[in-house]
Amino acid sequence: MTTIGVLGGSGAVGRIVVDRLTAWELGKLRVGGRDLERVAKVCAQAPKAHTEPMRVDLNDRDELRGFCADCDVVVNCAGPSYQVLDRVARAALAAGAHYVDAAGDLVAIDALGDAPPTGLADRAAVFSAGLMPGLSGLLPRLLAVDGPPARLDIYVGGAAAIGPLSAVDALLTRGPRFGTALAAWRNGGIAPNALRPLRSVALPGFRGRVHAWPFLSAEASRLAAELGVEELRNYTVYVTEAIPRALAAAWADEDAPLERHVPAVAAAAEADLAATGPYYTMLFQAVHHDPAPGRPRRLELHTPDSYALSGVVAALTARDLLDERIPPGVHLAAEVLSPRETLTLLADDPLVTGVELI
Ligand SMILES: NC(=O)c1ccc[n+]([C@@H]2O[C@H](COP(=O)([O-])OP(=O)(O)OC[C@H]3O[C@@H](n4cnc5c(N)ncnc54)[C@H](OP(=O)(O)O)[C@@H]3O)[C@@H](O)[C@H]2O)c1
């Protein structure tokens, strides 16, 4: 019987991975985390499935090895991702399993590349299988099916609670392997300081006035280069300026341990939630040189829960791996999932409250 390990299965992302994989009846689920009671509770909510709660601390080599043993796929939703890097991927591949990471990004791929595991000859490791990164690099491809747009604008954001673990990841999202603030992609390269924050603007699909911060992520640069767009602008959208302010204060305080700023980031996210309630919007807009009729120029996707939707993407990636639709090697989810099929599947998912492709 197929065995799928979901590490961090009691978290905001992991719970949905367990829920969807259970519903799709893909095999036995081994659900792991440090608090056995929490993972047992998640397993108990999936009575029909074969679920096995397991206590595991990913920082304990033997426990992690035991968790990955006999798995066909390991889905990692534990973190902080930018501290965990390739640790779980290596254990999964050593056990002969495929690997899916709801985050990870290029920094984890870099770490894995330092000493590539032999398991990659016939197994795949797929990183950034979430919403952003993930869908943010996948869905814009639907606006480029008839050739690259001259310009692509990406706006992703809204209001969501940020737990302590994800707050650490938000604070670690710094440096060129993550992206460049205020930069755009222009004519084949990164154009530094090309953009300014859009303060208090109205954007389609976002509630009230929002603040859009230009951040040319590494994912967006790869997308622009691959599609051959002349210009790409990538914005993270906030409903208040509380989060960018909290991040800026933390990054300015270089001597303090990162953890000291976690409560401020979490509180800023709460302030956003109080302002609008939970919602997340992905807006992609293309400008074509040849705006022929029928050529798509705008894609909008709405969800009340960006964390849970990341779990759906991670679960879809695990399913594609089990169906042998992803070749061996190391990948970003945005570069191996099918944009069309993913959008079709998401449109039917209860966590997606609206999709418009026009
Ligand atoms: N790509 C995207 O769009 C996206 C979106 C949201 C989140 N993420 C990423 O997804 C990851 C999970 O976020 P989340 O909000 O779901 O976090 P969360 O709610 O805090 O859940 C974390 C899970 O991991 C487990 N865990 C934590 N430390 C562990 C350890 N040392 N060993 C084993 N298990 C451990 C936790 O259980 P115990 O505490 O009991 O161990 C829990 O089950 C983060 O890395 C986050 O950055 C990505």
Which domains does the chain carry?
3-130+307-342 (3.40.50.720), 146-295 (3.30.360)
Say if CB 5 and CB 75 are below 8 A apart.
Answer: yes
pLDDT of residue 294: 84
Task: For ligand 1, say whether the CB of 229 is within 6 Å of any of its atoms.
Answer: no
What is the residue with the minimal CA distance to atom 19 of ligand 1?
11
H helix intervals, the chain: 14-23, 36-44, 61-68, 81-84, 87-94, 105-113, 135-138, 164-172, 218-227, 242-252, 262-276, 306-322, 333-336, 339-347
pLDDT at 258: 92
How far, in Å, from the CA of 172 to the mean position of ligand 1?
15
Ligand 1 close to Cβ of residue 157 (< 6 A): no
The reply to whether omega before 293 is within 30° of 0 (cis) is no
- Nearest-Å Rg of the Cα atoms of the chain is 20
Averages of pLDDT over runs of 10 residues in the chain (358 residues) are: 97 98 95 98 86 97 98 98 97 98 97 95 98 98 94 98 97 95 97 98 97 98 98 98 97 93 98 97 95 90 98 98 98 98 98 97
Nearest protein Cα to ligand 1, atom 18: 11
Task: State the pLDDT at residue 155.
Answer: 98
Q: How is residue 298 written in tokens?
A: 């705008």
Does 134 contact ligand 1 (Cβ within 6 A)?
yes
Contact yes or no for 78/56 (Cβ under 8 A): no
Q: DSSP letter string over 232-275?
A: EEEEEEESSSHHHHHHHHHHH-TTS-GGGGHHHHHHHHHHHHHH
Kindly state if the Cβ of 310 falls inside 6 Å of ligand 1: yes
Non-local (6+) Cβ contacts of 95 within 8 A are 65, 68, 69, 70, 71, 74
How far, in Å, is the centroid of ligand 1 from the Cα of 140? 27
Q: Is 12 touching ligand 1 by the criterion CB < 6 Å?
A: yes
